[in-house]
Amino acid sequence: MGRTQRRRHQRAKKSDEDSCSLHDLYVHLHSVGWQNHTHLSARNYEQTGRGLCSKQGTFTAEDELIRLPVGCLISIATLESDVPFKSLFNKELFDKDSRISFQALVACYILYHKHLQECSLGTCASPYSAYLDTLPRGYSTPYFCSIPELQCLPESLLERTVAQNRQIRGYFEIIKNLALNCDCCAKSYGQEVWTLADFKWAYFTVNTRSVHLSSRFLKKQSNYFQPLISGDTNLALAPFLDLFNHSDSVQITAEIEGPDYVLTLKSLPFAKTKPYDQLFISYGALSNFKLLTEYGFWLRENKHDYFEVSLLDIEHMIKHNKELSTQTFHRNIFKFIREHNLHDQMFVHIDEGCSHNLRVVLHLIFKQQAYFPNILNQIAFGDAEQFQDVQPELSYLVAYKIKEYEIFGGELDKLPQLTESGAVARSYLKECIRYLVDFQLAHLAE
């Protein structure tokens, strides 16, 4: 069998498996009260992969997309009512200085039910087996890039990935010391059953597939996990609903109405949808950087996109610019910028131009000679019109970032093979370059 034929066979086999698991999920959801009054069905689409459509209905603004019983969701109420799951954790070891996020706890819940599914010992069987079978086996965020790929990524992506890794590993260390033994196989969850690789997968399952759900509207049987959780518990996994893909051209509302969690379309890019058209929801007004690092994809010409730069980018730009590298810049200026957080919210936007903070920082570094804090303070928080004189430096900075991203992309292209995460990151770099070139044409052409 040739390579192409093998791939087709593998895709067909996966499609059959998906259809079977989705059928089981339909049956399960109907058994707990889901009516599917909008006739939703899953299909594969060329651009997005698996998504949802309606076989019969058309949708316009203000139409309901889905009405899912709250009992179908995996929320804090679900975890608090699951006595066997609560008994997994030694509450006496809960420590206010060693807490985990609710996202990490839901990741444990997913792993707990996967293990029950694998044990398949009658009373140990998981009620979420049908849902677990629909979950992806991997994710395409930069977090899952190979080491050689990570070495070819821009600093912003690398920093975000390192921060995610530090957080995930920290949560897993806490969980390992709290989890007890499995009633089915007697193995220790923390030491023998759950691995770090498993936890990474489960963590991103929750990260990429959860919906916002205000926990104050839920009836909880107890507050067992309250001493363990840091932050809020306002998220839930929503079986089947999590198959909706994201669009920047759609707006929705998500509300609890009586016993149901309801998604309603508020706006569409056209008058109405057609049967079998893919239906989209909005995950929020998210930039491509956020979409890539949290969900593993990006959107071309994303209307919510902007390109963020750092103070370190400006320092590197100075070193690589022949004209600027010969000049001296007092360290007090950079210290002042950092102490007053002026380096936050530095970005360029295709429609709005350069952000205020970026103009202020470029002006402080390149357009005035003062370096005493009191004078810098007067300048930085003075008349905004004085910051309009930084076009040359802004042009240098944008050109530097384009060149830098071209180099990173070239290094990725040299690798013999890219993982799915690496390929998505490579395409993201191309989109960033396109965005910056368009910004040049719109704002720096003269």
Tell me the per-residue pLDDT of 41-80, one tens digit each, with 9 for 90 and over. Answer: 999 999 899 999 999 889 999 999 999 999 999 999 999 9
Cα angle 392, 395, 401; round to 5:
145
pLDDT at residue 9 in the model: 40
Is the Cα dihedral 242, 248, 249, 250 positive or negative?
Answer: positive
Closest CA to 382 of 362, 360, 352: 360
pLDDT tens digits for 307-337?
A: 999 999 999 999 998 888 888 888 888 888 8
In terms of pTM, does the model score above 0.95? no
The amino acid at residue 255 is E
pLDDT at residue 333 in the model: 84
Contact 309, 352 (CB under 8 A): no
- CATH number among 3.90.1410.10, 2.60.40.1180, 3.40.50.300, 3.30.70.1140, domain 3-295: 3.90.1410.10
Q: How would you label 409-442 residue by residue, b for 16+ Cβ within 10 Å and e otherwise? A: beebeeeeebbebbebbbebbebbbebbeebbee
For residue 6, pLDDT beyond 70: no
The mean pLDDT of 421-430, rounded to a whole number, is 98
pLDDT at residue 187 in the model: 87
- For the chain, give the longest Cα–Cα distance: 77
pLDDT at residue 384 in the model: 59
Element (H, E) at 210: strand 210-212
Cα angle 400, 404, 407; round to 5:
145
For residue 17, pLDDT beyond 90: no
Structure token pair of residue 160: 């975000």
d(CA 209, CA 69): 17
Residue extents of the structural domains in the chain: 3-295, 307-444
pLDDT band per the 50, 70, 90 thresholds, residue 382: low
